Amino acid sequence: LRDSFITRSAKSVKSYTRQFQPQASTFKVAILGAAGGIGQPLALLVKMSPLISDLHLYDIANVKGVAADLSHCNTPSKVFDFTGVSELPNALQGVDLVVIPAGVPRKPGMTRDDLFNINANIVKTLVEAVADNCPNAFIHIISNPVNSTVPIAAEILKQKGVYDPKKLFGVTTLDVVRANTFVAKKKNLKLIDVDVPVIGGHAGITILPILSKTRPAVTFSDEETVELTKRIQNAGTEVVEAKAGAGSATLSMAYAAARFVESSLRALDGDSDVYECSFVQSQLTDLPFFASRIKLGVKGVEAIISADLQGLTGYEEKALEDLKVELKASIEKGVSFAQKKA
């Protein structure tokens, strides 16, 4: 168990020891889209967290069985199921953290932006309900295209008068998880030690691993840099093609989302040493939203870390300039969708 859970070993030890501290604070977490390919394994992973007292599972269908099944696990959190829009307000009552993996996934040949027309409306409806029922909750957006759904969520929260930019997160943890895995394999490093910051956004070239800032320090040839960068950028497509029409990444995504939930809850619980990459409102570049390393605290984003953007290699510098064009357009598409609907 020592190294078993989501985050790195030292943090896992902390999770483990907490199980023997009944006085420690615990939180209510809601998953919207809980019966889906990501939702189910994510629910299972977070059901193992000692930081959660209540797990609210919401979907438009099939969630009753998932909740009944999960509720038999003898881990501390209680599981509650909510089906359909009429039960959505109750699903969100008193919740500290909402994870949104609701929406359609890609099929081979599609871009994430091809999901916009369906998923933009789903995210809009769900975030409206979050604004009405748990406006102070941390919100983790997984639904694609993240580069647009996060700006949509921000606009909806603004329209409702409850936008707190420190509490809205686009989940890009899977890009970091992939980068760590691929780099460790390529350089024959111990996986648990590797940490690669990934900046920008979450689609194609907007995903930019900053390999020059890999920890532990390691050098890459130009060929290795190009190969690893492209693999990390195309990793989602690699899974979509391997699944051949049956969806996109679900298991690795659930793992990554559970890591981000665990990190957020540790921060909410007062841990002052929690860092993750996420797509958030940001002033690091001239774009209004940008993924980078952030420090998480009780109020959400406590600091945006600029160090990973300093002293970039020529390759990274150019890739950063190139990605801004696409990322800007995706952000603007999300903003104008939400403003037109207002």
Footprint of ligand LMR (CB under 6 A): 105-106, 112, 144, 174, 236-237, 239-240, 248-249
Distance CA(235)–CA(226), nearest Å, equals 14
With binding defined as CB under 6 A, does residue 102 bind ligand NAD? yes
Region of 185-193, 205-213, 247-255, 318-326 interacting with ligand NAD (CB under 6 A): 247-255
The residue nearest ligand LMR at its CB is: 236
Active site residues: 202
Q: Which is nearer to ligand LMR, 95 or 171 (CB)?
A: 171
Minimum distance from residue 218 beta carbon to ligand LMR (Å): 24
With binding defined as CB under 6 A, does residue 144 bind ligand NAD? yes
Q: Which is nearer to ligand LMR, 212 or 248 (CB)?
A: 248
- Angle (CA) 201 278 275, round 5°: 145
Query: What is each CA distance from 252 to 71, 78, 218, 235, in whole angstroms?
Result: 23, 24, 25, 11
Query: What is each CA distance from 107 to 165, 208, 227, 254, 327, in whole angstroms?
Result: 32, 23, 24, 19, 22
Q: Which is nearer to ligand NAD, 208 or 249 (CB)?
A: 249
Q: Which is nearer to ligand NAD, 257 or 335 (CB)?
A: 257
Minimum distance from residue 17 beta carbon to ligand LMR (Å): 33
Query: Residue 240's binding partner, choosing from ligand NAD, ligand LMR, none, with beta-carbon cut-off 5 to 8 A by kind?
Result: ligand LMR
Please report the beta strands in the chain, taking only residues with DSSP state E, as ranges in sequence order: 27-32, 52-59, 78-83, 97-100, 138-141, 168-170, 198-200, 207-209, 274-281, 289-297, 300-304
Query: Residue 171's binding partner, choosing from ligand NAD, ligand LMR, none, with beta-carbon cut-off 5 to 8 A by kind?
Result: ligand NAD
With binding defined as CB under 6 A, does residue 146 bind ligand NAD? yes
Give, as one character, the DSSP assignment of residue 135.
T
Decide: 322 and 211 in contact? Cβ < 8 Å. Answer: no
Q: Which of residues 4-63 bind ligand NAD (CB under 6 A)?
A: 32-33, 35-39, 59-61
Interacting residues of 120 by C-beta distance below 8 A, sequence separation 6+ = 148, 149, 152, 334, 337
Q: Which of residues 206-245 bind ligand NAD (CB under 6 A)?
A: none
Query: Residue 119's binding partner, choosing from ligand NAD, ligand LMR, none, with beta-carbon cut-off 5 to 8 A by kind?
Result: ligand NAD
Write out the two tokens for 90. 């109750």
- Map 169-205 to HEC letters: EECCHHHHHHHHHHHHHHHCCCHHHCECCEEECCCHH
Interacting residues of 217 by C-beta distance below 8 A, sequence separation 6+ = none
Distance CA(78)–CA(86), nearest Å, equals 21
With binding defined as CB under 6 A, does residue 334 bind ligand NAD? no
User: Residue from 156, 253, 274, 323 that binds ligand NAD (CB under 6 A)?
Assistant: 253
Decide: 265 and 51 in contact? Cβ < 8 Å. Answer: yes
Write out the two tokens for 74. 């003898």
Q: Which is nearer to ligand LMR, 113 or 155 (CB)?
A: 113
Minimum distance from residue 177 beta carbon to ligand LMR (Å): 10
Q: Which is nearer to ligand LMR, 13 or 110 (CB)?
A: 110
Residues lying near ligand NAD in the complex (CB under 6 A) are found at 32-33, 35-39, 59-61, 101-106, 115, 119, 122, 125-126, 142-144, 146, 171, 174, 202, 247-250, 253
